[in-house]
Structure 1
Amino acid sequence: MKIKTLLMTLTATAGLSVAAISAKPNTVNAATENKTVNYVPGYGIAVWTSPNADHQLTGKYLQHGTSWKVFSYTTVDNTLWANVGGDQWVQAQYLADAASNSTQPEIKYVNYKPGYGIAVLNSPYNGALTGTTLKHGTSWKVFGYVNAGGKQWANVGGNQWVQAQYLSDSAPVAQAPTLTMTATAYDPRVLGNYTFGYDTVAANLSVFPRGTKLAITFANGTTKNYVVRDTGGFAYANPNQLDIAMPNAQALQFGRQNIKVRVIH
């Protein structure tokens, strides 16, 4: 009877051991890396005894801007943890490549689409949306960078990360407004001018100086680029009209049309 009880106890213990082994997180050991804490200036990140749910605080904190060796990584409940030696673990989202991180924040501008913004996530590692967006053209402090998921992420303070591809060193140039104008057509070669190509427009030079590049959208939806090279008496009498160069047969068919005009240079 004692033997049977002992066997049952051993079997139960073995089952628990197997269960415990299967529940361990998948740890990836990599070559030792140097990482810099990228958190909030003046603060630090907590060090835990393990990445598991039953972990405890060690009482230690790694200060923002300090560098540490990382020996391995593991993911538990969709959170990536970094081992900084022995039973010491920190959340990897607060670590950045030492070479790309700076304790002095940079000023960057959001360069996305006018009227829109870029999403802010709480982590570069499969992070969730925070509900905040950074509007196109606004400027923000960037405290560091990290590469994750094939993209570079920029930290804009605490648990706030954006895709670095939408940030630039200078403010984006505002796009010129689109004007509605009237257009006619002419063939400069019929007038004896073989210097101007068919990418030429004649305009009122007080509105569009010579050399101005224009993007013109026609009634059929096509857009072509032209250069202001010519002018004439009609242009001064009709500042809201352009005369577009094209072969004579096309010019005769063109007639008079409403066009959309935007300065591109």
Structure 2
Amino acid sequence: MKLRNLVFSALALGTISTATITTTADQTFAATASTTMSLDTTMYAARDTAVYTAPAGNTTGQTLTSGTAWHVSSKQIVRGTTWYEVGGDQWVKGADLSTNPIATALDTTMYVVGTYGAAVFNSPYADRQQTGQTLEKDSGWHVSGQVTVNGETWYEVGGGQWVWGPDMSADQPITQTPGIAMTATAYDPRVLGNYTFGYDTVAANLSVFPRGTKLNITFANGTSKDYVVRDTGTFAYANPNQLDIAMPNSQALQFGRQSITVRVIS
């Protein structure tokens, strides 16, 4: 977010006009004002905010856009109303500024990607506390607001309910099919004179896994690899729960017969 500072120079980009209309309030506000307090801080426009020539003075016709950040250099209280200076003789009412960044509205669906779900907080700001609720991993939620606090993004998933940005994603998670326990043998298509598709091929009963099905196979040693059903064989018709996996002959001879877990990717 770009930090803006109103300055008393008509030549600077984005500055507010320094034309000042003298009013009775401008001339007399000092008599009822508290001592000016010097500040050096950043505050945020809580709404489209009118700019005044002085505390309790006349409006300049300029406004601060809602959500924008501004450097505040001083503070005064006039007749119970707090005013902040955001540039040379450019003042805004304290009620129109916030010490916290302002959330922007959203209307979208996001999904929980946090490993343990997403903890829910009552605020995105420094005083935030967990509510005790957790959004389930892979669940989808309507997001109504977004704010960046100290470089971290937070999303509002309900009235005053916030979750940490990295725990959410706009991408819908892929629903994975459960693993299927099967047995497997191996063969080298080169030895059989049929090296059309390479070693990412499995032969399967096509009534179980149609040709072109993408499979993720987890082997007995815990490793896994993706394959595509491109072949079949006479064994498959009699053994629908068995796959024949293509691999170089030296590996196929060592593979033998082993239990595997098969998951359909697509």
The TM tier, using the shorter chain, reads 0.5 to 0.7
Structure 2 CA distance for aligned equivalents of residues 199 and 137 of structure 1? 30
5+ unaligned residues in a row in structure 2: which ranges?
1-36, 49-64, 73-83, 85-90
Question: Does residue 85 of structure 1 match 2:92?
Answer: yes
Closer, same or farther: CA 69–171 of 1 in aligned 2, 3 Å:
closer
Partner of 1:254: 255
TM-score normalized with structure 1 length: 0.63
Partner of 1:118: 118
How far apart are residue 228 of structure 1 and its match?
1.1
How far apart are residue 236 of structure 1 and its match?
1.6
Partner of 2:88: none
Q: Which amino acid aligns with 1:119?
A: A
Deviations 1:66-110 (A, max 9, x none): 93666458xxxxxxxxx79344376655722xxxx23xx524132
Partner of 1:143: 144
Structure 2 CA distance for aligned equivalents of residues 36 and 260 of structure 1? 57
Question: How many aligned positions are there?
Answer: 197
Question: Does residue 204 of structure 1 match 2:205?
Answer: yes
Question: Does residue 29 of structure 1 match 2:27?
Answer: no
Partner of 1:180: 181
Q: Which amino acid aligns with 1:117?
A: G
Partner of 1:18: none
Structure 2 CA distance for aligned equivalents of residues 250 and 142 of structure 1? 51
Closer, same or farther: CA 193–164 of 1 in aligned 2, 3 Å:
same
Deviations 1:153-196 (A, max 9, x none): 11123331112344344643311211111000011111111212
Partner of 2:221: 220
How far apart are residue 132 of structure 1 and its match?
1.1
Closer, same or farther: CA 27–223 of 1 in aligned 2, 3 Å:
farther
How far apart are residue 140 of structure 1 and its match?
2.8
Structure 2 CA distance for aligned equivalents of residues 240 and 179 of structure 1? 9
Closer, same or farther: CA 165–177 of 1 in aligned 2, 3 Å:
same
How far apart are residue 35 of structure 1 and its match?
4.8
Question: Does residue 67 of structure 1 match 2:74?
Answer: no
Which has more helix, going by share of residues? Answer: 1
Conservation of the 8 A alpha-carbon contact between 2:186 and 2:246 = yes
Decide which of 98, 102, 105 is 1:95's aligned counterpart. 102
Partner of 1:239: 240
Partner of 1:7: none
What is the SS of the residue equivalent to 1:153?
strand
How far apart are residue 36 of structure 1 and its match?
5.2
What is the SS of the residue equivalent to 2:92?
coil
How far apart are residue 215 of structure 1 and its match?
1.4
Conservation of the 8 A alpha-carbon contact between 1:118 and 1:135 = yes
Structure 1 CA distance for aligned equivalents of residues 229 and 108 of structure 2? 38
Structure 2 CA distance for aligned equivalents of residues 69 and 190 of structure 1? 70
Identity within the alignment, %: 55
Closer, same or farther: CA 166–181 of 1 in aligned 2, 3 Å:
same
Q: Which amino acid aligns with 2:214?
A: K
Partner of 1:108: 109
Closer, same or farther: CA 70–248 of 1 in aligned 2, 3 Å:
closer
